[in-house]
Amino acid sequence: MAKQELSFGIDIGGSGMKAAPVDLAVGELVAPRYRIDTPQPAAPEPMADVVKQLVEHFEWSGPVGVTFPGVVRHGVTHSAANVDRSWIGTDADALFTAAAGCEVHVVNDADAAGLAEVRYGAGKDRRGVVLLLTFGTGIGSGLFVDGVLVPNTELGHLEIDGHNAEQRAAASAREREGLSWKAWAGRVQRYLETVVMLFSPELVIVGGGVSRRTEKWLHHVDVAVELVPAAMENEAGIVGAALVGAMPAPVT
């Protein structure tokens, strides 16, 4: 049996912030994840307080990784499409480190999910260009070349047919507009055609909540690339965050 390599991950979502300790030897949670509602408005100080509560819940004292729904460079957040705009320019590493009393590193949320899938899941041992796309409140993207992350791609914000892509093809758009799965899949098809044309990936991994319901829509999508559901589902963000928390230097 492999020796446990423990780290701690926190995954920030639009409705909830979820956390758990992770065994990096196998990429699995070692305790049930704990969730606290994301504060509204989703501003830095209230969210830092939730990070503190999550760390204290598990009595954790080691390094921590936290996902963030936006561009993160050297621990500083540079976009805030789905959280409060006061995040722009915030040193999230420093803010969360002070709140948690542990060393914290922050990473883009889709990049974190991609790190988990490439190391443990659907992208394991795959060479070439691998792209993870998460369909949720927005569309997140994690781009990898021979297993190496190209950070902060933010491909959900591509302009396609005059629209910000995630406004039409995110899972939230299906719910907001009352679309059938087939109609929504047509929008995903158009989005994927553009992304595949631009990046020529060997593999596209579909993540986010809709990865658990692929039987309802994936058969309506046909692009010239291997397209598979994410293997780690809701745990990918926490596991990827824990990976970043344990790294000797941040990935961005």
Domain definitions of the chain by residue range: 6-111+235-246, 125-231
Q: pLDDT per position in the chain (252 positions), as tens?
A: 557 899 999 999 888 999 999 999 999 999 999 999 999 999 999 999 999 999 999 999 999 999 999 999 999 999 997 899 999 999 999 999 999 999 999 999 999 999 999 999 999 999 999 999 999 989 999 999 999 999 999 999 999 999 999 999 999 999 999 999 999 999 999 999 999 999 999 999 999 889 889 999 999 999 999 999 999 988 999 999 999 999 977 777
Enter the pTM of the model. Answer: 0.94
* Residue 232, pLDDT score: 92
Encoded tokens for 210:
């809709």
Same topology, domains 6-111+235-246 and 125-231? Answer is yes
* Residue 248, pLDDT score: 79
The distance of Cα 17 from the centroid of its chain, to the nearest Å, equals 12
* Residue 15, pLDDT score: 86
Could you give the C-alpha distances from 108 to 7, 61, 111, 157, 243, in angstroms and in order? 18, 23, 5, 14, 13
Q: Look up the CATH number of domain 125-231.
A: 3.30.420.40
* Residue 233, pLDDT score: 82
Q: Are 214 and 69 in contact (CB under 8 A)?
A: no
Asked whether the bond before 248 is cis by omega within 30 degrees of 0, the reply is: no
* Residue 2, pLDDT score: 59
Encoded tokens for 133:
């796309």
Residue-wise DSSP of the chain: -PPP-EEEEEEE-SSEEEEEEEETTTTEESS--EEEEPPSS--HHHHHHHHHHHHHHTT--S-EEEEESS-EETTEE---SSS-GGGTTEEHHHHHHHHHTS-EEEEEHHHHHHHHHHHHSTTTT--SEEEEEEESSSEEEEEEETTEEE----GGG-EETTEEHHHHHSHHHHHHHT--HHHHHHHHHHHHHHHHHHH--SEEEEESGGGGGGGGTGGG---SSEEEE-SSGGGHHHHHHHHHHHSSS---
| Reported CATH class of domain 6-111+235-246 | alpha beta
